[in-house]
Amino acid sequence: MNGSTLISLVWITLIGYAACTEVPMEMLGECVKTCGYKGQPTVRMMDRECMKKDDCLYCKYYGCPIVECHKKGKRVPPTLTPDRRCLVCEDECIHGWDIFKKGDTFVALDDINHCECKAKGRVLCKLEKKNPSVRDFCEL
């Protein structure tokens, strides 16, 4: 692994075996197209937003922010988000590159719908409008 490669890895299940693909730092936030397999790739220590069209999955990957948690003036360890991809402080959520407080509302990574930060790191996004086209999602 070279220095420009994110330490986090994307695990893709292909025809009964797991293949490991590195996500280079310069690809974070960019649209990555993967075709020819069923399901979504499993990711660790990063967030992502994906959409499917035909036999292809288009995903944008986001590195997890570094968090430092405090409670009553003392430093406390962070916990894993519910999807087990990132670390988060109590009553905070991570969505893309950003950290939100419980109760905060914000625009989803698709730039169309809205989400809310819930308890224990959960993010609830409401489908208010149909998902963007691949062209809009990938900003082509």
- Please tell me the predicted confidence (pLDDT) of residue 11: 31
Q: Hey, how many other C-beta atoms are within 10 angstroms of the C-beta on 117?
A: 23
- Please tell me the predicted confidence (pLDDT) of residue 69: 93
Residue 139 lies in a domain: no
In contact, 48 and 59? CB cutoff 8 Å: yes
Residue 75 lies in a domain: yes
Q: What is the pLDDT along the chain (140 residues), one digit of tens a residue?
A: 333 333 333 333 222 233 334 455 566 677 888 887 666 666 667 777 788 888 888 888 888 888 899 999 999 999 988 888 888 998 999 988 889 999 999 998 877 889 999 988 899 988 776 767 888 778 76
This model's pTM is above 0.75: no
Residue 136 lies in a domain: no
Distance of CA 15 to the CA centre of its chain: 24
Please state the domain count of the chain.
2
Residue 106 lies in a domain: yes
Burial of 78 (0-12, 13-18, 19+ CB in 10 A): middle
Which residue range is the domain that position 51 belongs to? Answer: 5-63
The SS3 assignment for 120 reads helix
Same domain, yes or no, for 103 and 76? yes
- Please tell me the predicted confidence (pLDDT) of residue 18: 33
* Closest of 80, 73, 76 to residue 46, by C-alpha: 80
